[in-house]
């Protein structure tokens, strides 16, 4: 019987403190590495690059126009009898004006644009993964704090019941202590729900069934403003705009090349009245009505728009980085202030208040007030840590992405 009870307790303890079956434990850097490797959103973005490469295969064909073969056959009706005439020809047309080069340039720029867009998808995805990871850490810290608060509330309730039996306090103290304990236990359930939601969000982003996290919200990723601004100059969304502008310029050049005629060279063979005839042929189009004016106008207008967007984007990125840098610095200053001036006093205040209630020097209301204020400050500290860490993520994202 003793062995059965002991085994049951061990299994229950392992189930309580072990991660879910199949859960992957991740550090911050491991979560980012996993996102780069297998995140569904990033995999889809990379597949778009292959689509653009497929377009380049078509643009790389040496002769953009296929040869044309035609023929004719029919009877020749003459007074002296009937004969059969045969005629067959083949012609190959050639594009002039550098149209193939323009198509290749447009295709290459399109591939570069898709590559930059995939990099930008990765930049935004890593931001989402990092923030979900930090929220998971924060939820875990809040859960630990809620469990600690529950233990202290249970201790206070026990002291109140003991003092009630001794006749030192009224039943009101016991009822209030029990209500406080119930609230503390309710807070544990809320904290567990928040942790489940945060871990579920992270797992969904990574394409995993379940995860757990390990790390410290206090970790700071330091970089100078100059380094961040230098990195931001190559941000993938700016590179995508630049590639789009190059593609638009190539499309405009393709429109200009359409003003050149297509030249066709060929050969024809005919048989008429028992005579064999071989002819060389030359043809060319007359681009009088359609000579690429629409493609030129659209390409130039798009190139102008994207050039403007690039300049505006560069100014916006610099402002984003500078603002995010200041926000991060101010958030960490708030954390430092609290850790320096408030946190060292909390444990001492809590110990003195519990001792004072046990000895009857203060009432339960005063003890619970100290406990509530202590818990609020600790929760506020965790919230500040999350905000400061998240500000660091936003800063690196605005500077080109997490590394």
Q: Which residues pair with 220 in a beta bridge?
A: none
Walk me through the domains of the chain, giving residue ranges and CATH numbers. Answer: 25-398 (1.20.1600.10)
Residue 309, token pair as written in the block: 């967007």
pLDDT beneath 50, residues of the chain: 1-21
Instruction: Name the residue with tokens 């047309």.
Output: 93
Cβ atoms of residues 251 and 304 within 8 Å = no
Which of 383, 391, 288, 256 shows the shortest CA–CA distance to 330? 391
Q: What pLDDT, on the 0 to 100 scale, is given for residue 104?
A: 87
User: What's the pTM?
Assistant: 0.79
Average pLDDT of the chain is 86
Cβ atoms of residues 188 and 22 within 8 Å = no
Q: What pLDDT, on the 0 to 100 scale, is given for residue 11?
A: 32
Q: What pLDDT, on the 0 to 100 scale, is given for residue 331?
A: 95
Q: d(Cα 146, Cα 259) in Å, to the nearest integer?
A: 75
Which of 270, 382, 395 shows the shortest CA–CA distance to 330? 395
* 284-303: pLDDT as tens digits: 888 888 888 888 888 899 88
Beta strand 211-213 pairing with 24-26? parallel
Q: What pLDDT, on the 0 to 100 scale, is given for residue 22?
A: 60
Backbone phi, then psi, for 80, in 5-degree steps? Answer: -90, 5
Q: Which residues pair with 268 in a beta bridge?
A: 89, 279
Which of 328, 344, 299 shows the shortest CA–CA distance to 397? 328
Instruction: Name the residue with tokens 């090349």.
Output: 257
Q: Radius of gyration over alpha carbons of the chain, in Å? A: 38
Q: What pLDDT, on the 0 to 100 scale, is given for residue 13?
A: 37
């Amino acid at each position: 019987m003793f062995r059965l009870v002991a085994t049951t307790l061990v299994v229950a303890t392992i189930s309580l403190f072990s991660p879910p079956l199949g859960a992957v434990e991740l550090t911050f850097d491991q979560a980012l590495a996993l996102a780069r490797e297998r995140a569904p959103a990033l995999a889809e973005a990379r597949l778009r690059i292959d689509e653009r490469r497929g377009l380049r295969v078509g643009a790389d064909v040496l002769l953009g126009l296929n040869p044309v073969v035609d023929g004719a056959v029919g009877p020749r009706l003459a007074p002296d009898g009937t004969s059969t005439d045969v005629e067959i020809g083949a012609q190959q047309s050639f594009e002039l004006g550098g149209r193939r080069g323009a198509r290749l340039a447009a295709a290459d720029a399109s591939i570069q644009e898709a590559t930059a867009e995939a990099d930008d998808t990765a930049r935004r995805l890593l931001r989402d993964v990092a923030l979900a990871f930090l929220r998971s850490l924060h939820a875990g810290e809040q859960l630990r704090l809620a469990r600690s608060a529950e233990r202290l509330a249970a201790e206070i309730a026990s002291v109140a019941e003991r003092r009630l039996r001794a006749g030192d306090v009224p039943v009101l103290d016991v009822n209030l202590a029990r209500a406080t304990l119930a609230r503390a236990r309710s807070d544990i359930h809320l904290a567990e729900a928040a942790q489940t939601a945060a871990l579920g969000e992270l797992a969904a982003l990574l394409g995993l069934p379940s995860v757990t996290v390990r790390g410290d919200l206090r970790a700071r990723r330091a970089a100078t403003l100059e380094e961040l601004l230098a990195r931001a100059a190559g941000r993938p969304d700016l590179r995508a705009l630049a590639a789009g502008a190059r593609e638009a310029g190539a499309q405009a050049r393709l429109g200009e090349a359409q003003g050149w005629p297509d030249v066709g060279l060929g050969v024809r063979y005919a048989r008429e009245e028992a005579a064999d005839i071989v002819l060389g042929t030359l043809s060319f189009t007359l681009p009088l009505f359609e000579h690429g004016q629409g493609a030129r106008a659209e390409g130039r207008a798009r190139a102008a728009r994207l050039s403007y967007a690039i300049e505006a984007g560069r100014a916006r990125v610099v402002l984003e980085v500078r603002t995010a840098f200041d926000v991060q610095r101010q958030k960490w200053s708030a954390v430092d202030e609290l850790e320096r001036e408030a946190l060292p006093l909390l444990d001492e205040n809590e110990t003195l208040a519990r001792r004072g209630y046990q000895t009857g020097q203060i009432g339960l209301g005063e003890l619970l007030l100290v406990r509530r204020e202590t818990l609020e400050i600790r929760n506020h500290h965790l919230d500040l840590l999350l905000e400061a860490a998240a500000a660091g993520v936003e800063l690196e994202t605005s500077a080109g992405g997490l590394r």
